[in-house]
Amino acid sequence: MSTSALYNDQGGAEAAVEAGQESTPTSSGTGAAFGLFSTDFKKNEDLKEMLESNKESLKLEAMKRIVGLIAKGKNSSELFPAVVKNVASKNIELKKLVYVYLVRYAEEQQDLALLSISTFQRALKDPNQFIRASALRVLSSIRVPIIVPIMMLAIKEAAADLSPYVRKTSAHAIQKLYSLDPDQKEQLIEVIEKLLKDKSTLVAGSVVMAFEEVCPDRIDLIHKNYRKLCNLLVDVEEWGQVVIISMLTRYARTQFTSPWTEGATFDENNEKTFYDSDSEEKKEQTEAKPYIMDPDHRLLLRNTKPLLQSRNTAVVMSVAQLYWHLAPKHEVNIVTKSLVRLLRSHREVQFIVLQNIATMSIQRKGMFEPFMKSFYVRSTDATHIKTLKLEILTNLANEANISTILREFQTYVKSQDKAFAAATIQAIGRCATNISEVTDTCLNGLVLLLSNRDETVVAESVVVIKKLLQTQPTQHSEIIKHMAKLFDNITVPMARASILWLMGEYCERVPKIAPDVLRKMAKTFTAEEDIVKLQIVNLAAKLYLTNSKQTKLLTQYILNLGKYDQNYDIRDRTRFIRQLIVPNEKSGALNKYARRILLAPKPAPVLESAFKDRDRFQLGTLSHSINSKATGYQELSDWPAVAPDQSVRNVEVIEPVKEWAPLVGKTKKSKSDDKFYSDDEEEKEEEGSASSGNEDSSSSSEESDSESEEESSEESEKTSTDSGKSSSGSENSSSESESEQKKKKKTKKAPQKKSKPTAADSDSDENGNGPVAQASSSSPESSSGSETDSEDDSDSDSLAAQKKKKSDAKSKPKVEVKSKKEVSLLDLDDFSPAPTNAPKSSFLSSSLLSDLEGLSLSNISSTMQVTTPSFGPVKTYELLHHMTGKGLSAKYHFPRQPCLYEPSMVAVQVILTNSSDHSLEEIHIGERSPAGLNIHCFNTIERLEPEASVTVSMGIDFSDSTQAANFQLCTKENQFSVSIQPAVGELLMPSTMTEQDFTKEQGKLLGMNETSATITMATANTSSQAISKQVLSVANVGVVSSSQNNFHRFAGRTVSSGALVLVSLELKESSSALLTINTEKSVMASMLLRDLKQALTQA
């Protein structure tokens, strides 16, 4: 107080000086006076004066003090008129403070607050986005109902603002307006709908928050934005992530079918299953029809996974709950480590995380069992943390670890924290009932605790022993006797009551002791606690029934005492018992049953976790934490039995490109790919739609699709094994033969397809190739690509697997057409989908694909698409010479297709030839180095006949380095060390983009990321075709169409990390040229530069 008085004094004096300068001596005097005798009221008076002065620094000083008052919770509302005048101040700091004041008091001074509105309206039009945003923030925070229309208008305008920051503010304003006037809901939903389409990461979190607050039930607004939100998620700020994840969890529970079906195969990357199914169990497999996850469902799971590494504990928790509620059971385990990590965080964080783990560990012991030791209690933990850890340890207890846990519990029982020691004893009791093996051990341990010096420990043990004995009363009369002996020393009422109850219940087992106990109790009856008295009455009644000879008088004495007890419960009980057990003329029929009533066998109490019913709440929520429904809690719905139409998530309409938004991919893409398709089309017509089969597999209607795949995989199996044997198995021939076969059956289909709207058609077809692969996180060879790639070999496995993959990617259709699958192939015509249906669904499925394509490159503009095709000759390298390989020779080449097994792998095809005179058996891959090398091996080849050869495909993850992959090629008898050294160009995959995108991306990769060299071109290489040919021969990149003749551009991505590699070649006069490579991978760039230089300078 003294300091503030002093402070006032100074302020006042200053004001006085100031006023003095303005030559108003009278006020100067008063100012000083106020300073000297400052009271709360007068202090404000003095502030008012300062505010009315025209010196900025004084006003600022005054405002600071006023804000200080607000912060301390003191009322300063009477200064409102003085403060509001400064709302238009030029001084930003002053203005901010005024804003703070306004927001706080506007509700109380509505009329005066209106004076400031025009200032904000003006500021809303300010060229500076910061000022616009803060004006909107304050305007919407002023809780004055009269300005609702103004706010509405401002929000609408701001929602269309060019600055994402302003749009973010408008999303916040929506919630404020809604809470001020819920009648505006409809209009606000419109704004939310608009903002949901926003592609800025800045806006996403806020608008979803608004959605959750205003219209959480309007799930239909999310459909179209679902994929976008999933893809943006990683880049959204952390708070937004939490909100979006929790919203998407709810969304997913309404839109996808349950992944928790019994014996379902979820794992898309599980090659084993489809190999098996392809070879022998094909039939079975088709009948079993496994659950296949909707690609959108998978998308959500995949995109949230990296967030487990967030530093924000709330984000980690929300991902964990998402996995818990949405992921297939076997995938949930990945969240364990992250949750355990959170236990290192603050006390409060630990509390919440432990609560959630407690709920999880009831259902899924296995998840946390390996981390059991992380839940060991430290003596420094707070009590509620200790109790939770105990709870979890108890949940985790099983036959295998119970001895460790019990040993741990023993140390806890000794804890100084009595409440915790008591809880430990409870936990021991729970372990004893849950695990029958240790029941006796626990019971003995608890009996030992009865001689503990600590009162609470003993009392708790008695209570727990009582419960345990109830579960198996037969053989424990010894323990009961022991407890009877201890009885005199125990003072805790609950424990005394428990012992008495045990005596009564099992009085026939301790016939000598029980009456004696009753005798003692009769003496002390009046001094006991109520709960003990009740049990005394009980004991007396039971003894009276079983041993009335000895206890009749005692019982009557006790009943008499009870009759005049102060507590009416006890009086009541006594009266009831007396009527029940003592036969007299009034007692009636009930008397006969007294024994059966009092000594009825009682069910043993079930000791269960306090967290048992918590799983009714969504994990991580407030409701879960407090174990009751919080206001505004949104119930998590059950999985739908049948998934709603998944096509609703497709985005058909391409939004006009907004200034700030990244370009929308599809328009551009379809242009660049058009050629492709039309080739396809022509070819199809020429060959009598030979390739229609291929097309079908990717783009025909959903229903027919899955069938065609079924077939085609069967067929391909046949054809390709054939071709494999004939040692010249080419993809082309096999796919052609396959499609020919199909043609026979599908003639009806082809025309139907042609009748589709062409726009949709072309779109779907070209997208249909790569994207499917990505959707399923594998990369089947694209069918259209293979047409041009005539040298491609493929073996039965890969082809079949690829087909299988495709069908995997299409999860839903398969489930839906269950019944139809049994129909024989020949009947196909009959149940091909209705014509009206076909175009629509095919269109949708294709746009689904195009939406999914951005997945692996989520934070890169969706304009670019990795495509498969690449021309140019394929070089074959020697892997194993037949001399060193004792007859086995191997060659390999890079088929330049996305690898089937994992997107980060480079596909390698190996041709194994047996040049010896005896057959080779069990050809497989043995040890590999470096040890961490990720290779997808081919399946063991059981037998290779002399002179036969077989082509197998492998996937190798080179991690974007040219380090050789060393492994051993083994036969039954021998092992040969071989190595595959990739050329740098093979570590790329082509990427299609427009010229604009190319230059844009190039602009981002300057400086360190740019490598260039001037080269002298060989004369033969100056034509654009020749250049393309040379470049493509070196590197697996895509050609970017160029508007300038002297410019050639190529784009690709590295296979493992997906880093962009941009090659540009600028031709200058006299055959010199500037070769530039832009990529973040500088090592690769220099190697690539060297290779390209060599290729281009060579004739």
Partner 1 sequence: MIHSLFLINHSGDIFLEKHWKSVISRSVCDYFFEAREKAVDPENVPPVLQTPHHYLISIYRGKLFFLSVIQTEVAPLFVIEFLHRVADTIQDYFGECSEGIIKDNIVTVYELLEEMLDNGFPLATESNVLKEMIRPPTILRSVVNTLTGSSNVGDTLPTGQLSNVPWRRAGVKYTNNEAYFDVIEEIDAILDKSGTTVFAEIQGVIEACVRLTGMPDLTLSFMNPRLLDDVSFHPCVRFKRWESERVLSFIPPDGNFTLMNYHVSSQNLVAIPVYVKQSISFFETGPCGRLDITIGPKQTMGKTVENMMVTIHMPKAVLNANLTATQGTYTYDLTTKVLVWDIGKLNPQKLPNLRGSLSTQLAISGNPRYIMTLKLSQLMLVDCLKVSRLDMYGEKYKPFKGVKYLTKAGKFQVRT
Smallest gap from residue 779 Cβ to partner 1 (A): 17
Smallest gap from residue 605 Cβ to partner 1 (A): 27
Contacts of 603 (CB under 8 A, 6+ apart): none
Size of the site for partner 1 (CB under 8 A): 104
Q: Does 76 bind partner 1 (CB under 8 A)?
A: no
Smallest gap from residue 642 Cβ to partner 1 (A): 29
Looking at beta carbons only, is 122 or 414 nearer to partner 1? Answer: 414
HSE value, Cβ hemisphere, 13 Å, CA-based, for 711: 26
Smallest gap from residue 496 Cβ to partner 1 (A): 20
Q: Does 141 bind partner 1 (CB under 8 A)?
A: yes
Partners of residue 954 on adjacent β-strands = 908
Q: How far apart are CA 197 and CA 190, in angstroms?
A: 11
Stretch near partner 1 under the rule CB under 8 A, chosen from 369-377, 738-746, 905-913, 987-995: 369-377
Residue 942, φ and ψ in degrees, nearest 5: -65, -40
Smallest gap from residue 133 Cβ to partner 1 (A): 7
Q: How far apart are CA 428 and CA 431, in angstroms?
A: 5
The torsion angle over the Cα atoms of residues 30, 34, 40 and 46, rounded to 10 degrees, is 60
Stretch near partner 1 under the rule CB under 8 A, chosen from 24-32, 322-330, 812-820, 1056-1064: 1056-1064
Smallest gap from residue 99 Cβ to partner 1 (A): 8
- Among 27, 110, 121, 163, the residue binding partner 1 under the rule CB under 8 A is 163
Smallest gap from residue 150 Cβ to partner 1 (A): 18
- Decide: 341 and 313 in contact? Cβ < 8 Å: no
CB atoms within 10 A of CB 682: 10
Looking at beta carbons only, is 353 or 989 nearer to partner 1? Answer: 353
Stretch near partner 1 under the rule CB under 8 A, chosen from 374-382, 431-439, 549-557, 1036-1044: 374-382
x/- track of binding to partner 1 for residues 452-491 (CB under 8 A): -xx-------------------------------------
Contacts of 372 (CB under 8 A, 6+ apart): 393, 396, 401, 404, 405
Q: In what order do the strands lie in the sheet with 876-880?
A: 876-880, 888-893, 906-914, 949-957, 934-936
- Among 102, 113, 158, 172, the residue binding partner 1 under the rule CB under 8 A is 172
Looking at beta carbons only, is 35 or 164 nearer to partner 1? Answer: 164
Q: Does 96 bind partner 1 (CB under 8 A)?
A: yes
Looking at beta carbons only, is 45 or 107 nearer to partner 1? Answer: 107
List binders of partner 1 among 726-785 (CB under 8 A).
Answer: none
Q: Write out the two tokens for 823.
A: 């129909």
- Among 4, 21, 39, 309, the residue binding partner 1 under the rule CB under 8 A is 309
List binders of partner 1 among 1025-1044 (CB under 8 A).
Answer: none
Cis before 930 (ω within 30) = yes
- Among 89, 303, 318, 1078, the residue binding partner 1 under the rule CB under 8 A is 318
Partners of residue 1011 on adjacent β-strands = 1077
Stretch near partner 1 under the rule CB under 8 A, chosen from 347-355, 679-687, 804-812, 1068-1076: 347-355
Q: How far apart are CA 717 and CA 407, in angstroms?
A: 59
815-828 burial, b for 16+ CB within 10 Å, e for fewer? bebeeeeeeeeeeb
DSSP reduced 3-state for 8: helix
List binders of partner 1 among 241-270 (CB under 8 A).
Answer: 242, 246
Q: Write out the two tokens for 157.
A: 């305008």
Smallest gap from residue 91 Cβ to partner 1 (A): 7
Q: Does 1092 bind partner 1 (CB under 8 A)?
A: no
If 0-12 CB within 10 Å is exposed, 13-18 middle and 19+ buried, where does residue 365 land?
Answer: middle
Smallest gap from residue 315 Cβ to partner 1 (A): 8
Smallest gap from residue 344 Cβ to partner 1 (A): 6
Q: What does each C-alpha distance from 1057 to 194, 331, 334, 904, 1060 come to in angstroms? A: 34, 24, 22, 7, 9
DSSP reduced 3-state for 49: helix
Looking at beta carbons only, is 600 or 1008 nearer to partner 1? Answer: 1008
1014: amino acid identity, one letter: T
Smallest gap from residue 72 Cβ to partner 1 (A): 7
Stretch near partner 1 under the rule CB under 8 A, chosen from 8-16, 170-178, 727-735, 907-915: 170-178
- Among 400, 589, 653, 1008, the residue binding partner 1 under the rule CB under 8 A is 1008
- Among 19, 113, 316, 925, the residue binding partner 1 under the rule CB under 8 A is 316
Looking at beta carbons only, is 408 or 460 nearer to partner 1? Answer: 408
Contacts of 524 (CB under 8 A, 6+ apart): none
Looking at beta carbons only, is 121 or 934 nearer to partner 1? Answer: 934
Looking at beta carbons only, is 456 or 1071 nearer to partner 1? Answer: 456
Stretch near partner 1 under the rule CB under 8 A, chosen from 15-23, 169-177, 785-793, 907-915: 169-177
If 0-12 CB within 10 Å is exposed, 13-18 middle and 19+ buried, where does residue 129 land?
Answer: middle
Q: Does 126 bind partner 1 (CB under 8 A)?
A: no
- Among 414, 519, 520, 592, the residue binding partner 1 under the rule CB under 8 A is 414
- Among 1009, 1021, 1078, 1079, the residue binding partner 1 under the rule CB under 8 A is 1009
List binders of partner 1 among 597-626 (CB under 8 A).
Answer: 620-623, 625-626
- Decide: 976 and 888 in contact? Cβ < 8 Å: yes
Q: How far apart are CA 928 and CA 77, in angstroms?
A: 77
Contacts of 360 (CB under 8 A, 6+ apart): 324, 367, 368, 619
